[in-house]
Amino acid sequence: MTYHNAVKYLQQASIESKDSTLLPLLWEALDAPQRGLKYLRVTGSNGKTVCAELLLSAFQKSEYVIGSISLPMYEDGRTNIRINAQQLSPEEFASYVERVVQALKDVNLARTKETSEDANEAPKAPLSLSQSELLLSAALLAFREHRCAFCIIESDASSSDPTRSMPAPFAAAICGTIPSENQKEIHDIRSYIVHGIQEIVSAPQDQNAYRVISETCASINCRLTIPTKSELSISRLSLGGSEFSYKDENYKLGLCGKFQVTNATVVLEVINMLSRHGYTLSQEQIFDGLRQTKIPAKFEIVSVSPTVIVDSTHSETAIEVVCKALSDFQSFLGNKLRLCFPDEALADQYRTALSPYDFSIESITTYSPDDKPKDVVSSVWTDLTKDEILFFSVPNHQIKKLRDEILKRLHK
């Protein structure tokens, strides 16, 4: 199987799981790559990608081999699965997907044979797995063969999350503040905790979410840690990053925005928790990891003059956080906004989230998946002035192409 064929196969798979109870059948055919795997689960309402990237950056120069996977699938798949923060080669990625596909065929052949041998048994439907289930299976093979010390698995906590078919993680990080009115996400988090996690680090939560998380942790004797706000002090916020102190240690963060500092404190508590499980980093590795992390399209300021910001977070909670971050820089960036969104519904969400702040929305442009990235960028760049902020919201599957066009435009 070529890399192109592997990506095409995954892209054609269903997005939603049809029957997650069937996933272990595939893993048994692959000699149970999930068995014995130690992994840290990264979930929550927003900030999952940022926290995972900060952790990977801190561990990148350590002695440990760390695997990671983020779900759902991005544009090419290789971006999702990494070893020590490095993507798999196209050939290696294709080989893991091919083994998953072959195992799936073997399972379905065996199921067909079982049915044919028992005339009284109804025919068994072919085993059909979702895109995330297939991608996770390929990642588990990679983690086993690279002998990872532990792995980071980033995804939401919904009932369709394929990690629910795995043994419980030894620890989990809950990123972002879950609104108290978001009962579904609170329920999803609760049902995941009772899966059997030993230890959890959570971002500061609203009252209802905190009560559910803390009571659930207590019911299964799971240790819960939340960053201490009183021990956090932000000394500098800039477009190039942030400086802060936490528990009497000074840090520089390569990401901008107060919310990114909050994410960093979650990561610092996760690193402290990992040390209790035998995965220890030096202070220098921690400092360098936070300072050097740059994440494309996560409130990324790609240019200062003109000011161009690219972001890819689309949940309601994340949109509110992004708009608050824009307001934090309003005093020196100004209040004139040009906005570009993939659809009108997202534009409406941003209008609502921006309403508490004193911004002047100069224009809103929406584009469709069929529009060429070059045309999208050109349409919003016309007559752009230096006192305007150009803000792009980019879906994950369009990030690379649209961001590349923005960078080309800036370097003309």
pLDDT digits (tens, 9 = 90+) for 161-179: 898 889 999 999 999 988 8
Provide Rg for the chain, Cα atoms: 22
Measured from the Cβ of residue 159, the count of other Cβ atoms closer than 10 Å reads: 13
Rounded to 10 deg, the angle between the 3-12 and 90-117 helix axes is 50
Q: How far apart are CA 412 and CA 306, in angstroms?
A: 13
Q: What is the pLDDT of residue 18?
A: 76
Is the pLDDT reported for residue 80 higher than 70? Answer: yes
Is the pLDDT reported for residue 125 higher than 70? Answer: no
Lowest mean pLDDT among 155-164, 226-235, 299-308, 339-348: 155-164
Pair of tokens at residue 281: 């980093």
Q: How confident is the model at residue 124 (pLDDT cuts 50, 70, 90)?
A: low
Q: What is the pLDDT of residue 179?
A: 81
Is the pLDDT reported for residue 119 higher than 80? Answer: no
Which residue has tokens 């999702």? 80
Q: Over range 389-396, report the average pLDDT.
A: 89
Q: What is the pLDDT of residue 181?
A: 82
Q: What is the pLDDT of residue 160?
A: 73
The backbone torsions φ and ψ at residue 249, rounded to the nearest 5 degrees and listed phi first, read -115, 140
Q: Over range 382-389, report the average pLDDT.
A: 90
Q: How confident is the model at residue 188 (pLDDT cuts 50, 70, 90)?
A: confident
Lowest mean pLDDT among 92-101, 106-115, 347-356: 106-115
Q: Which domains does the chain have, with CATH numbers?
A: 3-292 (3.40.1190.10), 300-410 (3.90.190.20)
Question: Mean pLDDT, the chain, as a whole number?
Answer: 91
Q: How confident is the model at residue 269 (pLDDT cuts 50, 70, 90)?
A: very high
Is the pLDDT reported for residue 122 higher than 70? Answer: no
Q: What is the pLDDT of residue 38?
A: 95
Contact 46, 30 (CB under 8 A): no
Q: How far apart are CA 238 and CA 105, in angstroms?
A: 53
Q: Of 193, 246, 263, which Cα lies nearest the Cα of 223?
A: 193
Q: What is the pLDDT of residue 121?
A: 63
Is the pLDDT reported for residue 333 higher than 90? Answer: no
Is the pLDDT reported for residue 99 higher than 70? Answer: yes
Q: What is the pLDDT of residue 218?
A: 96
Q: How confident is the model at residue 146 (pLDDT cuts 50, 70, 90)?
A: very high
Is the pLDDT reported for residue 116 higher than 80? Answer: no
How confident is the model over 22-54, as pLDDT tens digits? Answer: 899 999 999 999 999 999 999 987 899 999 999
Q: Is 356 exposed, middle or buried (0-12, 13-18, 19+ CB in 10 A)?
A: exposed
Pair type for strands 66-70 and 150-154? parallel
CA 235-240-242 angle, to 5 degrees, is 25
Q: How far apart are CA 299 and CA 313, in angstroms?
A: 8
Q: What is the pLDDT of residue 159?
A: 64
